[in-house]
Copies of this chain bind each other. A is one copy, B any other.
Amino acid sequence: MADINFSSPTLSPELRAAEPATAADGEPLRWDIIELLFFAYRDFVGDADHELEAFGFGRAHHRVMHFVTRYPGLKVADLLDVLRITKQSLGRVLKQLLDEGYIVQKTGNNDRRQRLLFATPKGEALVAKLAGLQTRRIDRALEQVGPAGAEKVRQFLRAMIDRDDPDKVLEAIFRTPVAAAKE
Which residues of chain A have a CB within 8 Å of any CB of chain B? 1-2, 4-7, 9, 13, 15-18, 21-25, 27-44, 46, 63, 66, 69-75, 77-78, 84, 108-111, 114, 116, 124, 128-129, 131-132, 134-135, 137-146, 148-149, 152-162, 168-173, 175-176, 181, 183
**A73 partner residues in chain B, CB cutoff 8 A:** 1, 4-5, 15
28 contacts between A and B (CB under 8 A): A1-B73, A4-B116, A13-B172, A15-B168, A15-B171, A16-B71, A18-B72, A24-B129, A28-B135, A30-B131, A31-B131, A33-B154, A33-B157, A34-B66, A34-B131, A36-B154, A37-B44, A38-B63, A41-B41, A43-B162, A138-B160, A141-B157, A141-B159, A144-B158, A145-B152, A146-B183, A149-B152, A153-B156
Give 3 nearest A-B pairs by CB, closest first.
Answer: A4-B73, A141-B159, A149-B152
Interface centre among A74, A78, A132 (most CB of B within 10 A): A132
**A170 partner residues in chain B, CB cutoff 8 A:** 39
List the number of copies, as a whole number.
2
**A23 partner residues in chain B, CB cutoff 8 A:** 128-129, 131-132, 135
Q: Given A2-B109, A6-B75, check contact A69 B33 (CB 8 Å).
A: no
Which among B38, B128, B156 is the interface contact of A141 at CB below 8 angstroms? B156
The A interface is mostly helix, strand or loop, or mixed, namely: helix
Q: Given A15-B172, A18-B69, check contact A32 B154 (CB 8 Å).
A: yes
